[in-house]
Chain A
Amino acid sequence: MKWISPALLLTPRLTLASALGGNQSALNPHGPLASRISELWWYMFAVLTAGYVVTLVILFWALRQGRRGKRPDLIKSRNVVLIWGLAIPGVVFTSVLFYSVLVGQTMSVDPYKNALTIHITGKQWWWQVRYLHGSDVIADTANEIHVPVGVPVKLKLSSTDVIHSFWAPNLSGKMDLIPGRTNETWIRADKEGVWRGACAEFCGVQHAHMAFEVIAEKSDKYYQWLDWQRHPAITPTTDQQRHGLMTFVTGPCGMCHAVRGTTAHGSAGPDLTHLAGRRTIAAGTLPNTRGHLGGWIVNAQGPKPGNYMPRLNMEPEQLDSLLSYLEILK
């Protein structure tokens, strides 16, 4: 079998390793709800594997007996069939049902009434993440959910276009975002780290490029971040950056994007006030670097065809100054 490359043979092992230790894996739980789900998963895995192995052993044993022309002694009594074929599997497999209903029930209970609340709105194809104080928006970001470690956080989920589903497998189960309705779930990250999540309900052509990251950090770091998010955008200091700002507010960018502290108030796309502080662009599709950002601006239809960011023709020096401005928006 020449055509099987060594890399292909390694793939299953790599997949298993990443499933057990990855930052987007239900088998590497770091929150209470994800732990319940993973326990349920392992229970189902154990029970079903046992059922599978027992069935196969009996099957092979029966085949061997049959070939020798003997009638297996075991099946002479009807009670044996009733007990081993009906009663025991019935009880064992029904236990899976009861266990999963139990886990589902724990997930729907909201134990924290006055927890820190984050408002998440699903959009085609990105996540709007808002931190409110009363009705004032104190932080408006995209595809990044900052949470303090070890603290339960309530998520209020809604959508403005179609049904999406929030799924950060390391932290919790799935919860749908439905237009005209606010669903609630909660997460608690028990370990610092960056946990990746994705949309789990098909929502259009770029469903696969609708990821987000939950960034769990120590409480003081989190509050530092939140405090910085309140501030309006940094004012440009060099001529190039000022030219970039002009391009932003007079050109097409400000039609859809907002930068607080400027005259750009668009609301169709993500708020870019603190764009440079984000790890990714285009909902986890590309790393947030100058090169990727430049490519994204002139040809957003390349990496994410069908998304609502149009291709924009720009003069090279215009793009250069725009990027220099966007880079300071920490």
Chain B
Amino acid sequence: MIGIRTVFFRERVVACILPVCILLVSCNREKRIAEVSASAATTTTQEKDIPLQPGGLGAGEKMVPPLKDRSRNPFEGNYDAMNNGKRLFSWYNCAGCHSSGGGGAIGPPLIDAKWIYGNSPGDIYETLIKGRKNGMPAFGGKIPDYQVWQLVTYVRSLSHEAAAPQQKQQ
């Protein structure tokens, strides 16, 4: 005969294991990329042979982005990059022309579906690095590469271009 104690014992075990499982599941969230590799921090479009940073990639470091491939955004859909992009949007005074939140003022709005110079990550990257006529300044050589990509991520999120974030973030 299964006593009342045994029943309660099972429930107690479940009550102990369940919160642990919930905790473990909640650990599985996207990681922020706090450390950026030396090559990604390059501020110019030319490749450097000898970086000044000592050592190679440290623990937890990711090579972002591959220098040859400028059409693919390494941060696409990454919420941490979006938040950092938002911060940089105000720090680098993008808001000065596009208004805070990207509604547009002197510069064109970034929240609508209309894109003068293309909406792919590569297009926006190029707009930021090389600038565009009619006032968009070139930020190439002034902002590290990975920050440009963070801005691309944020700008694309404004118009829901990156509305469906990729789940496979490393």
Give, as a whole number of angstroms, the nearest-CB distance from B21 to chain A. 28
Give, as a whole number of angstroms, the nearest-CB distance from B154 to chain A. 15
Q: Chain B CB within 10 Å — which of A205, A254, A298, A319 has the most?
A: A298
When the two chains form their complex, are residues B141 and A250 in contact, meaning their CB atoms are under 8 A apart?
yes
Contacts of B165 in A (CB 8 A): none
- With A251-B43, A256-B91, A298-B52 given, is the CB distance from A311 to B144 under 8 Å? yes
**Residues on B close to A: CB < 8 A?**
34-36, 38, 41-44, 48, 51-54, 87, 91-92, 141-144, 146-147
Residue A51 at the chain B interface, CB threshold 8 Å: no
When the two chains form their complex, are residues A298 and B53 in contact, meaning their CB atoms are under 8 A apart?
yes
When the two chains form their complex, are residues B92 and A255 in contact, meaning their CB atoms are under 8 A apart?
yes
When the two chains form their complex, are residues A311 and B38 in contact, meaning their CB atoms are under 8 A apart?
yes
Give, as a whole number of angstroms, the nearest-CB distance from A103 to chain B. 40
Contacts of A299 in B (CB 8 A): 52-54
Contacts of B36 in A (CB 8 A): 301, 310-311
**Residues on A close to B: CB < 8 A?**
205, 250-252, 254-256, 266-268, 298-299, 301, 305-306, 308, 310-314, 316, 319
Give, as a whole number of angstroms, the nearest-CB distance from B59 to chain A. 11
User: Of all chain B residues, which has the CB nearest A267?
Assistant: B91
When the two chains form their complex, are residues B91 and A312 in contact, meaning their CB atoms are under 8 A apart?
no
Contacts of A252 in B (CB 8 A): 43, 141-144
When the two chains form their complex, are residues B38 and A268 in contact, meaning their CB atoms are under 8 A apart?
no
Q: Chain B CB within 10 Å — which of A254, A308, A311 has the most?
A: A311
- With A310-B41, A311-B41 given, is the CB distance from A205 to B52 under 8 Å? no
Cα distance A36–B1 in the bound complex, in angstroms: 70
Cα distance A298–B36 in the bound complex, in angstroms: 12
Inter-chain pairs besides A251-B141, A305-B35, 12 sampled, C-beta below 8 Å: A252-B43, A252-B142, A255-B143, A298-B52, A298-B53, A308-B87, A310-B147, A311-B36, A313-B53, A313-B144, A314-B52, A316-B52
Give, as a whole number of angstroms, the nearest-CB distance from A21 to chain B. 38
User: Of all chain B residues, which has the CB nearest A161?
Assistant: B87
Give, as a whole number of angstroms, the nearest-CB distance from B152 to chain A. 16
Cα distance A105–B53 in the bound complex, in angstroms: 52
Give, as a whole number of angstroms, the nearest-CB distance from A173 to chain B. 32
**10 contacts across the A-B interface (CB closer than 8 A):** A205-B34, A252-B43, A252-B144, A255-B92, A255-B143, A299-B53, A310-B144, A310-B146, A310-B147, A312-B41
When the two chains form their complex, are residues A268 and B41 in contact, meaning their CB atoms are under 8 A apart?
no
Contacts of A310 in B (CB 8 A): 36, 41, 144, 146-147
Contacts of A250 in B (CB 8 A): 141-142
When the two chains form their complex, are residues A305 and B34 in contact, meaning their CB atoms are under 8 A apart?
yes
Give, as a whole number of angstroms, the nearest-CB distance from B97 to chain A. 16
Cα distance A268–B89 in the bound complex, in angstroms: 11
A313: which of B38, B54, B142, B147 is its contact (CB, 8 Å)?
A: B38
When the two chains form their complex, are residues A306 and B34 in contact, meaning their CB atoms are under 8 A apart?
yes
Give, as a whole number of angstroms, the nearest-CB distance from B35 to chain A. 6
Give, as a whole number of angstroms, the nearest-CB distance from B63 to chain A. 13
Give, as a whole number of angstroms, the nearest-CB distance from A68 to chain B. 45
Query: Which 3 pairs show the lowest CB-CB distances between chains A and B?
Result: A311-B41, A268-B91, A310-B144
Cα distance A312–B146 in the bound complex, in angstroms: 11
Cα distance A319–B92 in the bound complex, in angstroms: 23
Cα distance A266–B142 in the bound complex, in angstroms: 12
When the two chains form their complex, are residues A311 and B91 in contact, meaning their CB atoms are under 8 A apart?
no
When the two chains form their complex, are residues B41 and A255 in contact, meaning their CB atoms are under 8 A apart?
no
Cα distance A267–B95 in the bound complex, in angstroms: 14
Q: Chain B CB within 10 Å — which of A252, A305, A319 has the most?
A: A252
Cα distance A111–B63 in the bound complex, in angstroms: 57
Give, as a whole number of angstroms, the nearest-CB distance from B64 to chain A. 12
When the two chains form their complex, are residues A311 and B53 in contact, meaning their CB atoms are under 8 A apart?
yes
Cα distance A266–B90 in the bound complex, in angstroms: 11
Give, as a whole number of angstroms, the nearest-CB distance from A218 to chain B. 39
Contacts of A313 in B (CB 8 A): 38, 41-44, 48, 51-53, 144
Cα distance A299–B58 in the bound complex, in angstroms: 12
Q: Chain B CB within 10 Å — which of A266, A306, A312, A314 has the most?
A: A312
